[in-house]
Amino acid sequence: MSTTHTVKPGENLTTIARKYGFSDWPVIYNFQSKEYRRRHPNPNVIFPGDQLDIPSKTPAAQPAPEFSLTIVDSNSGTPFVNLTLRLRFPDRTESTVITDRTGTVTVISGPSAQFGPNDTFDLIDAIDGSDTPPIAYLEPKFRQSGIRVNSSFVFHIPDKRAIADNIATKLKITRRSKWGKLTPNFVAMEQDWDYEIVALHHSGNSGESNPLEIEQKHMVTKHQWQDVGYHYIVERDGSLFEGRHLAFKGSHVELANTGKIGILLTGDFESSRLNWNSTTPSSDQLKSAGDLITELKSVFSTLTKLGGHLDYKKDTVCPGDQLYSLIPGLRTKLGLGGP
Ligand SMILES: [Zn+2]
């Protein structure tokens, strides 16, 4: 079946093709008789009054129902690549899929997965396992139920790995994987995120003068933790070290670690104890700590408070009076409240 089109002034094959729902002019040209094409060797040269046969547009076959889900980093909006997703199909079976370069997974109804256009999917798990440490998104808020087939669903979750990487790159922080002698037990650690508080610590009398000593103390000699307790360590010369990966809950304020980023400034800043080594934080150390907190604040909109260890635990003098007395000034400078 076809119709006849009479060319009007100003028309060309492209405009005529579009008029009838075709994206390319050759569809029209090739449909004409041999005689027409012999008389019109140049497809672009047509004249008002020419008669063209227009093919009837066959309706496209009904596409198979398709489920597609795109995951993007909630901070940057960039696609979340290589994220392993666990989906639950409408028939309650489960499947593991991995997001592509555009952060998308697409499942088409077929022999391996059968569903109709009105079915729904559940996202029950997401694991960023592309490198150490594996970061799982097991929190209930990251799960999604009833995502409809044939809807283009974009799901925003924080790319925790990328966020920690960016902070480290920006501030030239020595990564845990570079300085550590021991490997954290990532699978055994509880996760945390959406931090609200930065808690400052000092080394005190008990050593902890550098990251390796802290690692020994926290993982071998004093405690047998899965990793060092602090998220970051700031040495006297201002150099920054990554401790426990930000995706994991710290161990620095007993029984109250949730929502707190732990930062240790090395040194003994408590002057009331009989101690030859007590001192004040160096200006380099305070500058680096300030830069780090500023960066953390820009990443976590939930981060509104800065305090010292003793604000959150009664029987400690940490971070020492010499650092504690500086915290109100830091709060003002960094735009944070307390404690
Ligand atoms: Zn402390």
From first to last of the 339 residues of the chain, give the pLDDT tens digit. Answer: 678 899 988 888 888 888 888 878 888 888 888 888 888 888 888 888 888 998 887 666 667 888 888 899 888 889 988 899 999 988 888 989 999 998 999 888 888 788 888 888 898 888 887 667 888 887 777 788 888 887 778 888 899 998 999 999 999 999 999 999 999 998 899 999 999 999 999 998 876 789 999 999 999 999 999 999 999 999 999 999 999 999 999 999 999 999 999 999 999 999 876 666 678 999 999 999 999 999 999 999 999 999 999 999 989 999 999 999 999 999 999 999 998
Q: How much is the CA Rg of the chain, to the nearest whole Å?
A: 31
Q: How far is the CA of 296 from the centre of ligand 1 (A)?
A: 19
Kindly state the tokens that stand for 311. Answer: 């604000």
pTM of the full structure: 0.76
Class of domain 2-55: alpha beta
For residue 125, which of 105, 108, 110, 152 has the smallest C-alpha distance?
105
3-state DSSP of the chain: CEEEEECCCCCCHHHHHHHCCCCCCHHHHCCCCHHHHHHCCCCCCCCCCCEEEEECCCCCCCCCCEEEEEEEECCCCCECCCCEEEEECCCCCEEEEECCCCCEEEEECCCCCCCCCCCEEEEEEEEECCCCCCEECCCHHHCEEEEECCCEEEEEECCHHHHHHHHHHHCCCECHHHHCCCCCCHHHCCECCCCCEEEEEECCCCCCCCHHHHHHHHHHHCCCCCCCCCCEEECCCCCEEECCCCCECCCCCCCCCCCEEEEEECCCCCCCCCCCCCCCCCHHHHHHHHHHHHHHHHHCCCCCEEEEHHHHCCCCCCCCHHHHCCHHHHHHHHCCECC
Kindly state the tokens that stand for 258. Answer: 């949730």
Q: How far is the CA of 66 from the centre of ligand 1 (A)?
A: 53
Q: How far is the CA of 299 from the centre of ligand 1 (A)?
A: 24
Same fold, 66-157 and 161-334: no
Q: How far is CA 318 from the centre of its chain?
A: 33
Contacts 24+ apart (CB under 8 A), 165-173: 167/246, 167/292, 167/295, 167/296, 167/299, 168/242, 170/295, 171/240, 171/288, 171/291, 171/292, 171/295, 172/240, 173/232, 173/240, 173/241, 173/242, 173/292
Q: How far is the CA of 250 from the centre of ligand 1 (A)?
A: 12
Question: What contacts 111, CB < 8 A, 6 or more positions away?
Answer: none
Q: How far is the CA of 324 from the centre of ligand 1 (A)?
A: 11
Residue 313 has a pLDDT of: 94
State the amino acid at position 87 in one-letter form. Answer: L
Residue labelled with tokens 């909630």: 74
Q: How far is the CA of 204 from the centre of ligand 1 (A)?
A: 8
Q: How far is the CA of 168 from the centre of ligand 1 (A)?
A: 23
Q: How far is the CA of 162 from the centre of ligand 1 (A)?
A: 28
Q: How far is the CA of 159 from the centre of ligand 1 (A)?
A: 29
Q: Which CATH number fits domain 161-334: 3.40.50.720, 3.20.20.70, 3.40.80.10, 3.40.50.1100?
A: 3.40.80.10
Q: How far is the CA of 310 from the centre of ligand 1 (A)?
A: 7
Q: How far is the CA of 199 from the centre of ligand 1 (A)?
A: 8
Query: What are the residues facing 5 on neighbouring strands?
Result: 52
Domain boundaries, the chain: 2-55, 66-157, 161-334
Q: Which numeric CATH code is attached to 66-157?
A: 2.60.40
Backbone angles phi, psi at 329, to 5 degrees: -65, -40
Q: How far is the CA of 26 from the centre of ligand 1 (A)?
A: 75
Q: How far is the CA of 217 from the centre of ligand 1 (A)?
A: 14
Q: How far is the CA of 316 from the centre of ligand 1 (A)?
A: 7
Q: How far is the CA of 317 from the centre of ligand 1 (A)?
A: 8
Cis? peptide before 55, omega within 30° of 0: no
Q: How far is the CA of 318 from the centre of ligand 1 (A)?
A: 5
Q: Which sign does the torsion angle of CA 251, 257, 260, 265 carry?
A: negative
Q: How far is the CA of 111 from the centre of ligand 1 (A)?
A: 58
Q: How far is the CA of 253 from the centre of ligand 1 (A)?
A: 7
320 in Cβ contact with 309 (< 8 Å): no
Q: How far is the CA of 270 from the centre of ligand 1 (A)?
A: 12
Q: How far is the CA of 17 from the centre of ligand 1 (A)?
A: 74
Residue 43 has a pLDDT of: 83
Residue 267 has a pLDDT of: 92
Q: How far is the CA of 226 from the centre of ligand 1 (A)?
A: 18
Residue 20 has a pLDDT of: 84
211 in Cβ contact with 241 (< 8 Å): yes
Q: How far is the CA of 320 from the centre of ligand 1 (A)?
A: 9
